[in-house]
Amino acid sequence: MATIGDICVSASINLLSALAFLFAFGILRLQPFNDRVYFPKWYLKGIRGSPTGSNRVKKFVNLDFGTYIRFLNWMPAALHMPEPELIDHAGLDSAVYIRIYLLGVKIFAPITLLAFMVLVPVNWFGKTLQARGPKDLTFSSIDKISISNIPFGSDRFWVHIVMSYVFSSWTCYSLYKEYKVIAEMRLRFLAAERRRPDQFTVLVRNVPPDPDESVSEHIEHFFCVNHPDHYLMHQVVYNANKLACIAAEKKKLINWHVYYQNKYERNPSKRPTTRTGFLGFLGNKVDAIDHYTAIIDNLSKQEAEERESIINNPNAVIPAAFVSFKTRWAAAVCAQTQQTSNPTIWLTEWAPEPRDVFWENLAIPYFDLNMRRLLMAVALFFLTFFFMIPIALVQSLANIEAIEKVLPFLKPIIEKPSIKSVIQGFLPGLALKIFLIMLPKILMTMSKMEGITSLSGLDRRSASKYYLFVLVNVFLGSVITGTAFQQLGQFINQPSTEFTKTVGSTIPMKATFFITYIMIDGWAGIAAEILRLAPLITFHVKNTFLVKTEQDRQNAMDPGSLEFATSEPRIQLYFMLGHVYAPVTPFLLPFIVVFFAFAYMIFRHQIINVYNQQYESGGSFWPDIHGRVISGLIISQILLMGLLSTRGTDKSTLVLIAQPILTLWFHRYCKGRFESAFVKFPLEVG
């Protein structure tokens, strides 16, 4: 069982790691040769350029020593940009995303203050654990300020019940205010945004075949009949995979042509040469510029022929199209209504913006779509269930006694205080973090197989899977399964009357495991995010060995994006942990607040200077955020009921049962009040 000393060791390791990452970032970002790694967004916008000048040293190293004194000035700069300017600079999705962290601070900072003022003194003076002694139950000094220290059947539990209602009420109030603000931001964003073709366009799928008409003619005829006054035009979707390959190859060869052209311009006295064989190392030596000019001309002819072939080939047309209307009002009516009496054909939805379209899934038939979703639901169940095995192994790392039993020869080593503190305070959270690295790609592949037609939809769907996985394996697997295995021997040897007392005392003790995880993932992990070590190394390797042209240097920057599918469920785990442990073990709450505040500053900086989002959905993911925070809140309320029912407060169940019911009612109210702004387009705005 980790003690406050173990937590301090872990905190020291993670705090020093975070400070080291921040210090390294503060120095590295000042060097001109790292400029494209730490400020790629400004390069992509054309606002920033490569360092120029006659001094070659200044192109690589910053010789202005005054800037090193102010190397931490990026922190206030990250918070300085006003939100309207941030939306214009990075988009509404990015602005709404970092508001999730701000919401965490708004919710848990007051809850932390109140919990330490009220609950910590109540728990501390309970003195139950000290009275029972170490022979009866394993506990640490952290548990002395948790609910475990309250005597069985004590009236002090009513303080926890009242505070649970206070915490839930404050959370719901904060959620309501945030939902209202973001809904208004979204409507203003849609109304004020520069008009784009996709705002007037509907994606139509499952176009039924017609023996007398082509797909294009059938679509035009259908919409001319059913939307005669508003239909403008349509564009059918083609299967153009071969054309895409030709275009990609042509783009690569043009880059080589530019490279040799630049080389010739630097030394006009000598024409550059290349070889026609493998990677330019084998074969006959030829003039490089003429060689690539001839190949590009040939590919251009192939490209034109392939394009003409696709247009004239009826089999290349898939049963989907983008249909445009004269007004946004007409597009909204079409996207939000059923087109025929058969709900499986002529399926309409708002067209994603061009960057957001996932082309591979546009032609999936209705029946196949439903079968895929059924199979992926079954696969997700088995993936979630069987992943409990490695999670259980992770939990064993937190138990020194279990390691000594399995590997007795390690006992002299792991019993040393310093080694023991590292094992209990650092390794469990690190091992869990490593296990979760492989998961996102699996879940994204499953989401793609479900047939979702937009990248933003794929991110939201993968995020929901990841959240379910984190809930079952990381949270429930650690709190319930981990606790049961940890105290199994005591359960067997205790009389039945003592069983429920032990359960009530041991569930809060898993807070120490989550504290270590928060510090590793939420402190050191977030600090490592801003250092961008992998993109830094990758850029310099590419820049040294692979970059030939300015386009290559642009491609080597790799600004990345927010990766909503994995980062948002991770945030939701912190919301859940905060709500679960607020009335149980308030000692965990400051670690949560530090995470939210620190992450808000880090990601604000990254959004301003680094990330280049693939798409813009106008903050359409916010209802998912709200729903998952609510689900975590309800889980915490149910767990508190279960915990108190084992602590001799039978009447508390009757009082607490109203809490999840009221929370569900609040969720339904917010859903009816605000959610339509995120799934439908208001006609008055059109």
Across residues 647-654, what is the average pLDDT?
Answer: 76
107-123 pLDDT, tens digit per residue, is 999 999 999 999 988 88
DSSP 269: T
pLDDT over 50 (residue 497):
no
Which range, of 66-70, 386-390, 642-646, averages the lowest pLDDT?
386-390
pLDDT over 70 (residue 538):
yes
CA distance 112 to 171: 12
Helix or strand holding residue 317 (H, E): strand 317-325
pLDDT over 50 (residue 526):
yes
**Token pair in block for residue 462:** 């993968």
Place 97 in a pLDDT band, splitting at 50, 70 and 90: very high
The pLDDT > 70 percentage for the chain reads: 83
**Token pair in block for residue 370:** 């439903």
For 446-465, letters b (16+ CB in 10 Å) and e give bbbebbbbbbbbbbbbbbbb
16-55 pLDDT, tens digit per residue, is 888 888 888 988 888 888 889 999 999 888 888 776 655 5
More confident residue, 263 or 431: 263
137-165 pLDDT, tens digit per residue, is 555 567 677 787 788 778 888 899 999 99
Across residues 377-384, what is the average pLDDT?
Answer: 87
pLDDT over 70 (residue 342):
yes
pLDDT over 70 (residue 175):
yes
**Token pair in block for residue 197:** 């073709």
Across residues 118-138, what is the average pLDDT?
Answer: 66
Can you say whether residue 280 is alpha, beta or left, with left for phi > 0 and alpha for psi between -120 and 50 degrees? left
How many residues does this entry show for the chain?
Answer: 686
Rg (CA), the chain: 30
The pLDDT > 90 percentage for the chain reads: 31
pTM, two decimals, is: 0.84
Which range, of 36-50, 237-251, 413-427, averages the lowest pLDDT?
413-427
Give the pairing type, strands 317-325 and 273-275: unpaired
CA distance 140 to 398: 13
* CA-wise closest residue to 321 among 159, 204, 434, 217: 204
Crossing angle, helix 564-581 and helix 622-645, to 10 degrees? Answer: 30
457-479 pLDDT, tens digit per residue, is 999 999 999 998 888 877 776 66
Which range, of 159-173, 413-427, 439-453, 610-624, averages the lowest pLDDT?
413-427
Across residues 216-234, what is the average pLDDT?
Answer: 92
